[in-house]
Structure 1
Amino acid sequence: MDDIKGRSLPETVLLSIRARNARKAKATPRKRVNDTEIVVASYNVHKCIGTDRRFDPERTARVIREISPDVIALQEADNRFGDRAGLLDLARLELETGLVPVPVSGNGKGHGWRGNVLLFKRGTVRDVHQLKLPGLEPRGALVAEIDLDEKRSLRVIAAHLGLLRRSRSEQARVVLDIMSSADERPTLLLGDLNEWRLGNRSALNTLHTTFGPTPPAVPTFPSGLPVLALDRIMGNRHGLVSGVEAHDTPLSRVASDHLPLTAFVHL
């Protein structure tokens, strides 16, 4: 979907319709080639409320099982107000998928940090940082250092950026500040970055110095007819991320207003 760069929203809609028709016509999504490939995903679960307006956490969990990720960043997985309780049955999800949450502190009844939950299937969490992002809305990011095995480690930044362009620009600079003070290990940026513009109009331009050239922007919103590429998976090394695509199934189209975004990581 690099073709949407610099185009108007109506043109983007037409290109998205054509791209979706092409996805329907092609074969099933590419499967994991070997055990060294890691399947990663980002999914805004919309508080487990589907496009049919039903609150259904089990349906959300079924979408996650469809993806079968090794690492997945969830957004809007907690109530935003009140006690901010987590909405998924994480114990059951662990039994069914092997996914466990990166531990966070000060979250009360919540699953994660400001609605961000980072789940991983295998490895050891070496370090976790919970960041408050600037802006009018209560946005945050999780930064986790995960040792996948004795030879491979991965830094994951899971974030949900703001609705205002100015806030997104400030929040992107915070992400760059993290990277400037960190070591050179492979790093992923996963999340709902709330920016559909590409090129010079994008509030995320500054990220390209560390995460560029970025993978193709794949529309994931709204889930029924994806037009806007709000969700992103980026890596700080050439060739680290490949096969970025929307997880577009009958179930995922109704489980949330976003489609999950998936990719393969090569370490």
Structure 2
Amino acid sequence: MVCVATGGWPGNSGSTALFVRPELAPRVKEVIKRGLPWRLTWLLPKFPSRRGICAVDLGDLVVFSMHLSLNERERREHRNIIMHAAQKLGPERCIIAGDLNKSPGGPTWLALGQKLHDAALTSQQDGRERGTFPARKPKRRIDAIFVGAHFSMQNYRVWSTPLTARASDHLPVTVEVGTHEPKDAPK
């Protein structure tokens, strides 16, 4: 795998990253990376954090990696930045994945779901919601993959193994995507 983008602030660029198979690296048309803003007025009730996003435009596909704030006001601004970027690039060809730091049903989930499909809801076979946090005893789903209308999805999975429980405080989430003609994009 080749790292093609990292997002975040200097000294905290590990907040987000995107890797591609080596043969895909030449297809990268544009790399978007930035630290997400924070303000001193956001100090209470939760301390602001240096979060980030990054995105890679592969032509027919744009992949975003995000790590949103614990602070609600900060998260709202981050969501707006991401949605603006996706709208500009064409949401139907976007896949947005990462840590939302909030469970489904909140404003960020609803905003992303207006333009993209939540992979967990679209491709899960048994309909059960699986937690992603905390990794050792997952109770909440705060990590997600949202997929544009140009893609079909299958085999959504939350990877819960002894190794993944030790590797991070979040369980990794994957979904297989394929392309198809757009027909039922969320409105």
Query: If the TM-score is normalised by the length of the shorter chain, which range does it land in?
Result: 0.7 to 0.9
2:7/2:17 contact within 8 Å kept: no
Residue 142 of structure 1, CA deviation: 0.4
| Alignment partner of 1:116 out of 16, 20, 29 | 16
Q: Does structure 1 conserve the Cα–Cα contact (< 8 Å) formed by 2:8 and 2:33? A: no
Larger Rg: 1
1: CA distance between counterparts of 2:135 and 2:6? 30
Where do 4+ consecutive residues of structure 1 move more than 6 Å?
105-108
For residue 208 of structure 1, the aligned residue among 100, 109, 113 is 113
Return 5+ residue gaps in structure 2 as ranges: 39-47, 122-128, 180-187
1:222 corresponds to which residue?
A: 134
Which letter maps to 1:137? S
Q: 1:105 to 1:231 in 2, by over 3 A?
A: closer
Aligned length: 160
Q: Select 2:62's aligned residue among 105, 130, 155.
A: 155
Q: Distance in 1 between matches of 2:13 and 2:29?
A: 17
Map 1:6-25 → 2, pairs under 5 A:
none
TM norm structure 1: 0.53
Quote the offset at 1:238 in angstroms: 6.6
The code of the aligned residue for 1:176 comes to: M
Q: Which residue of 2 aligns with 1:67?
A: none
CA contact under 8 A between 1:161 and 1:194: conserved in structure 2? yes
CA distance in 2, matches of 1:224, 1:115: 21
Q: 1:224 to 1:166 in 2, by over 3 A?
A: same
Q: Which residue of 2 aligns with 1:176?
A: 83
Q: Which runs of 5+ in 1 are unaligned?
A: 1-98, 148-152
Shift of 1:260: 0.9
Query: Which residue of structure 1 aligns with residue 3 of structure 2?
Result: 101
SS in 2 for 1:204: helix
Contact kept? 2:9, 2:51, Cα under 8 Å? no
Number of the residue aligned with 2:58: 146
1:246 corresponds, among 158, 177, 187, to 158
| Pairwise CA distance, 1:203 | 3.6
What is the Cα-based RMSD across aligned positions, in Å? 2.7
Partner letter of residue 37 of structure 2? P
